[in-house]
Structures are given as C-alpha cells and as structure tokens.
Structure 1
Amino acid sequence: MTSSPFRRLCHWGPISVLVIIKLITWAMIHMLGMWWPPHASLGGFVHAAIFLAFAAATLYYFLQSLLEGPGFVPYGWKPAKEEDTQFLQFCNVCNGYKAPRSHHCRKCGRCVMKMDHHCPWINCCVGHRNHCYFVIFLGSATIGCLQAAIVLTICVYQVINQIANIQSRTERDPAIYLTVSTFVLTLLALGMALGVVLAVGALLYIQVRSILRNRTTIEDWIMEKAVGRRVIGGVAPFMYPYDLGWRRNAALVINSARHDGIAWPLAPGCGQYDLTREQQAQKQLKALRSRVVVSVASYSGRWLPAQYPRAALHAPCTDEPRLALRPGTLLRVTRHRKYWMFGAMVESEGEEEIRGPRGWFPRAAVRPLHDKPE
C-alpha cells in the first residue's frame, strides 16, 4: 500500500541504490587520488569534479523521483460530466473512476497518473509527477558510471601491471597501492559500474523514446493490441491521441507541474477518451476469449510448487501474485502458458459473476468447468 515518501526509503530497492552509489563513488575517488591526484594537476581536479557532479546529480534526482512520487488520482474521482463515466473504468480499491492514462498499481495501492511502470529501485511508480526526475537520474547514473568504469578499469590494469613488473617500475609511473580488501571492493565497484551502464543505459533509451512519443510502456502494450485487433477485425486504424510531436511531448514531461495529470492535450481530431474506449474494447474482447476453469487439486500458492515439478521448472518470469487454490474453486482464465494460467477467482459463472483476487496457478491443478472429470 502507499506509504509516506520517507518510508519508501526503508526498502531493499532504495537501500541498494544508495549502497551502489556510495561504493562506486568511494572507489572512484580513492583510485583517482592515487592515479591522477586532483590536488596535483588541473586535469585531475576537473576529472574528479565532473564525476562528483554526476554522482551528486544521481543522488539528488534519485531522491527526488522517490520522494516526489508519481502523482495519484484522488480517491473517489469522477469526471465533471456524468455521461463521461461510460468511457472510464471504475476502481473498487480507490472507489473512483480511473482518469485517462491512469492505472491502478497493486503495490502502491492507488491509481497512478500516467503510470509508466512500478520501479522497485525507487519503491514507487514512475508516473506523471516524477517521470522527468527519474529519466535525469538514469542519465546521470549512466554517464557517471561510464566514467567510473573507464577509470577503474585503467587503475585495476595499473595495479596488476605494477605487481607483474615491479622490478622495472620507474618513478614516473603512478603508484597505486591497494590492500586485498580494497582491491576486492574496487573490482566489485567496477562490476557494478559496468552493470549500471548496460542495464540502466538500456532503460534510459526506452524512457527517452517513451518521452519523445508521449507514450508510456503500458500504452505501448495497449497500442500493440490495438493494431493487432484492427488487423484481425478489419477495423479502421487507431490514432494515438497524445502524440503532439517530440518537442511538445518532451515539454509535457519537463513541465509536469503545469498539468494536473487528469486532462491531457490532444492531437488534432482526437478525443479525451479515445484511449480509454480502446481499452474497454480490448477488455471486452479479452472477456469473450476467456474461459472458466475449476480447480481439481490444491495449490499452496508457492512460486515453485513441489507438487507440480514441471510448473516449478517453468515458472512465469513476473512478480505477479500466485493464487492459492482449493478443490472446487472457480477461476476465469485470461492468460495462459504451457504449464501456468492467469486468472481471477469468480463466485459463479455468468454475466453477474463477482471476481476476486487474480494471479497465476499451475495448469495441472485445474480443468475446464464443463469437462467431465477423468
């Protein structure tokens, strides 16, 4: 559930980020002090100043994206015009309608404005309010860690070369002295820096592309299904309503404080509820394709169920919940894989069915409702 901004820090994600920032910064300053001392040359001073600037920016924008939060739709929100509610989905948890571009996050426990994704590293969602902070955090972390990776690689090479050629060493060669513990920590910092460059750099590319198209990762998925639905059904192409051109798209993120996160500027010829209506059509199609199954065996809800070894070896790579089952439980399946199914518990089959918790469960634990038991 949603917690206070400062309590978000008390989580393995933010704590891990702070430890990584601390370790890489310590290793970088420690090695620079021996390889290219800032107090001994202008070049060393500038080099250290640039890195410290990126390190400070990484820490600042990390905390800003965490403490600011994504922005949440107010509890009980509904549109100004009552007739517009037909185009919106109702959230039973927040007891209000989901505003355009908002989605409910089960981890935050709220409907998030322009939700992109839930990030465990900042322990909250990336959304309307903190999207800009988050992208700057990614950019400064990537550039700072790239600089650190280059310097630490050179310094580690110098240490190894210094040990291998200790007799031929001259006074002009930089003297880098490391204990076993500091050498291990430096190697760990180098590995983390390289990991950040690769993983965070890839995420940075995705986020920059998302900003320039004014399309979140969730909306990318909606658009992909919209294209597929129209290709199969022969319906007219769907026009994404929020693409205003890359300059205006970027300005919307940079100047997020000027927008309420509810009503959005639209491309010419588009309506405020075009995307939500497309979502409703996709959900209706999803409901038509779903089917009801009944559990014929118990399932504990464990991620690696010992009683279903094949399912345990092919567990879905997702943090979505697993559903504990008892024999006779009815479920409406909306997604499935070879050894797993995803669906919601239902009270009874029919138009007035009441849906309960959703999650994954082993395919071997259920059978189609109208099939005869073997």
Structure 2
Amino acid sequence: MASSPFRRLCHWGPLSVLGIIKLITWAMVHLLGMWWPPHSSIAAALHAALFLSLAASTLYYFLQSLLEGPGFVPLGWKPEKQEDTDNLQFCTVCNGYKAPRSHHCRKCGYCVKKMDHHCPWINCCVGHNNHGYFTLFLTSAVLGCFHASVVLSICMYHAINRVWYIHSGTGREPLVYLTLTTLLLTLLAIGMAVGVVLAVGVLLYLQVRGILRNQTTIEDWIVEKAVGRREEQGLPDFVFPYNVGWRNNIRLVLYGNKYDGIRWPVRDGCGEYDLTREQQAQKQDKRVRSRLYTAIAEYSGYWVPLRRYPWAALAAPCTDEPRLPLRPGDVIRATRQRRHWLFGEKLIGEGESRGPRGWFPRDAATPTDHLYKTKPD
C-alpha cells in the first residue's frame, strides 16, 4: 500500500538521487574555489550563485514531488450520478470506481489521480498533485547537470595540465589540484552529470510534450491504440478530450491545486467520459481476442524458473510486471504473449471473476478456449 512520506524517502531511488545531488554539488563547490573563486569578482560570484540556485531548486522540487505524492482516488469512490458508473471501470483492489484519468498502481496500492507513471527515483507515482513539481525537478536537474558537466570538464582539463602551466604558462592560468580520491570522485561526478543530461533530458522532453497536450504517458498509449482500433473498425477519429489549448494545459499542471483531480475541463464537443469509454472499448476488444488457458503444471512465480522451465528462464520478459503463480487446474485468460511466456489473469469462481495478473511460462498451461465462453466486463 501507499507508504508515508518518510518511508517513501527511505528507498534506494530517493537515496540515490540525494547522493548524486550531493556528489555533483560537492565537486562543483570544491573545484570552483580553485578554477574561478567566487570572491575574485562579481562575475565569479554570480556564476557560483547560479549553480547553487539550480542545485537548491533541484533538491527542493525533488523533495516536493516526493513528499506531496501524486494524489489518490478515495477508497470506494463512485460518481455522484449512478448512471455514470456505466462509463467507468471498477477497481477491485480499491473497491471503488476509477475516476476519469486515474489508474491503479500496484506499487503504490491505490488508484492514482491523473497517473503519468510510477517513478522509482521518487518512490511514488507522478500524478495530479506532484506533476508540476516533478517537471520543475527535471528542468532544474538537467540545467544544473549541464552546467556542472561543462565546468567540471574544464576544471579537469586544468588539473591534468597543472604541471605544464607551472613551467610553461603565463602565470595567470588557474591551478586546480586533485588528489587521487578527488580525481576519482570528480570523474564520477562528470559521468553522473552527463548521464543526467542525456537520460533525464529525454524524460524532460517527453514530460513537456505531454504537458503541452495535457496528455499523460499512459494516455499517449491509450490514444495510440485508439487510432489503430478505430481505423481498423472504420470508426471516426478519436478526439482527446482534455487538450484545451497549450496555455490552459500548462496552467492545469502548474496550478493543479485548483482542481480536485476527479473532474477535468474538456474541449468543446467532448464529454468527460469520452476517454473512459474508449478504454472500455479497448479492453473489450482485448478480451475478445484473448485466449483461455488451463494450467497443467505448477509454476511457483519465480522470475527465472531455470530448473523447471529452462527455455522460459533464458527468455524472461524484461519488465517489472508481476509473475503469476499457477497450480494445475487454474484457468487463465491470456491477453499478451511472447515466445516462451504468456501474460494473463486468473479466472476465479463460477462467475469467472478477475483474479491476479502476471506473466507465466507458456509450457505451464494449455489452450482451452473450447471449454469456456469469453464474457464481457
């Protein structure tokens, strides 16, 4: 289930981010004092203040996005009008309906308002409440690390050529001294800074693009599937209902506290349940195309079942999605497949209620479509 802010912070993801921020900040402060001391001129002082401002804002927005959390749909939530429940999906874990734009996160344990993705670096989801903080954190981190990667590279160059400057220089070159320990730490800081610029820069681009369209990462995937589904079935093009113009889209993220994360403004000609109805249609199509399997052997749920299913172990899915333990006789509706693996959900009871989902080895089950009828949600 969702953890408290303190427990959320005590995780390898947030602790790694804090360690990276500390390492890069230490390296910059240590080397700036030799390369361009802040007390030497106003320009040097402003230069140092610029980096420290970026480092402080990175830390602040990181902690804000982590401590604020994404915002969760109340347990047992349902719309005010009973007839609106036909347009919504029901979450069996939260025992309530999923509000528009919300999705259940199995790691947080709740349905998340306007869920974008689950981020291990803040150890929680990016959603309605912390989307703005998270984007500002990415912006500060990329700018700060770009600044640091340039400055630290220059300082490293001066440190490597220090002896040459002493004997052959003009005497005005800055002398940067590094011990073996500080040399290794500086090289690590440069690598971290460059890595953040490249990796986080791509994530920042995707986040900004999504914000301008008011479209989360999950909604990107839903819209992409909607285009293919409607083209295949000869239906009208799908219009994403929450794109209300880039200026208003930005305000929805930066000033999201004006909204409750349940009801959202929509563009003219669209309804508030257009996206949820499209999701229902996509899931119904997936169920129609799914196949039923019956487990013929036991599967313990190991991620690498080398002893019993060696071929599956050698081709395990590269995903953090759960594995589905099986016992002989279990009935599973498979919706995705790979060469040696299937992804599906158990059917429980005579009513074929939906049970746990996950990946399981293909050799652990056999198709039994002729014994069961696929029932709609």
TM-score (norm 1): 0.95
Cα offsets for 1:225-274 (capped at 9, x unmatched): 11111111111111111111111111111110101111110110111111
2 CA distance for matches of 1:55 and 1:161? 29
How far apart in 1 are the matches of 2:281 and 2:185? 54
Equivalent residues in 2 for 1:74-223 (5 A)?
Answer: 74-163=74-163, 167-223=167-223
State the distance in 2 between where 1:370 and 1:110 align: 33
Once the two structures are TM-superposed, the CA of residue 167 in structure 1 deviates from its matched residue by 3.8
Whether the 8 Å CA contact 1:162–1:169 is kept in 2: the answer is: no
Q: Which residue of 2 aligns with 1:362?
A: 361
Q: In the alignment, which residue of structure 2 is the partner of 1:346?
A: 347
**Amino acid in the other structure paired with 2:362:** R
Q: What is the match of residue 72 of structure 2?
A: 72
* One-letter identity of the residue aligned with 1:338: R
Identical positions, percent: 67
| Alignment partners' CA distance in 2, 1:263 and 1:371 | 43
Q: Which runs of 5+ in 2 are unaligned?
A: 372-377
Contact 1:76/1:96, CA 8 A, preserved across alignment: yes
- Whole-Å separation in 2 of the counterparts to 1:168 and 1:298: 75
Q: How does 1:268-279 map to 2 (within 5 A)?
A: 268-279=268-279
TM-score, length of structure 2 as denominator length: 0.95
SS class of match (1:39): helix
The answer for the alignment partner of 2:331 in structure 1 is: 330
| 1:298 CA drift (Å) | 2.8
Q: Does 1:6 align with 2:6?
A: yes
**2:301 match: secondary structure:** coil
Alignment partner of 2:168: what SS? coil
CA distance in 2 between partners of 1:253 and 1:129 (Å): 9
**Matched residues in 2 for 1:120 and 1:163: separation?**
44
Match of 1:257 in 2: 257
Structure 1 residue ranges, 4+ long, deviating more than 3 angstroms after superposition = 163-167
CA distance in 1, matches of 2:313, 2:42: 59
CA distance in 2, matches of 1:363, 1:166: 69
Structure 2: distance between partners of 1:84 and 1:368: 37
Number of residue pairs aligned between Structure 1 and Structure 2: 370
How many angstroms apart in 2 are the aligned matches of 1:365 and 1:144? 51
**For residues 18-71 of structure 1, what are the alpha-carbon distances to aligned partners after superposition, in whole Å with 9 as ceiling and x for unaligned?**
000000000011011111111112222111100000000000000000111111
Residues 291-321 of structure 1, C-alpha deviation per residue, up to 9 Å, x if partnerless? 1112233323222221333322322221111
What corresponds to 2:375 in structure 1? none
Contact 2:100/2:275 (CA < 8 Å) preserved in 1?
A: yes
Query: Which is further off, 155-164 or 118-127?
Result: 155-164
Query: 2:229 maps to which residue?
Result: 229
Does the CA-based 8 Å contact 1:116-1:127 persist in structure 2? yes
Query: How far 1:169 moved relative to its partner?
Result: 4.3
Which stretch of the first structure deviates more once superposed, 169-178 or 330-339?
Answer: 169-178
How far does residue 163 in structure 1 lie from its aligned partner after superposition? 4.7
* Paired amino acid for 1:343: G
For residues 112 and 129 of structure 1, what CA distance do their matches in structure 2 show?
10
Preserved contact between residue 295 and residue 330 of structure 1 (Cα < 8 Å): yes
Q: Deviations over 1:195-242 (max 9, x none)?
A: 100011000000000000001011111111111111111111111111
Q: CA RMSD in A?
A: 1.6
Q: Is 1:18 matched up with 2:26?
A: no
- For 1:245 and 1:134, how far apart are their aligned partners in 2? 21
Note closer, same or farther for the CA distance 1:43–1:310 as it changes in structure 2 (3 Å cut).
Answer: farther
Query: What is the distance in 2 between the residues matched to 1:305 and 1:166?
Result: 62
Deviation at 1:6, TM superposition (A): 2.1
| Distance (Å, rounded) in 2 between the aligned partners of 1:370 and 1:151 | 64
Q: Which moved more, 1:171-180 or 1:301-310?
A: 301-310
Q: Report whether the alignment pairs 1:47 with 2:47.
A: yes
Letter in 2 for 1:353: E
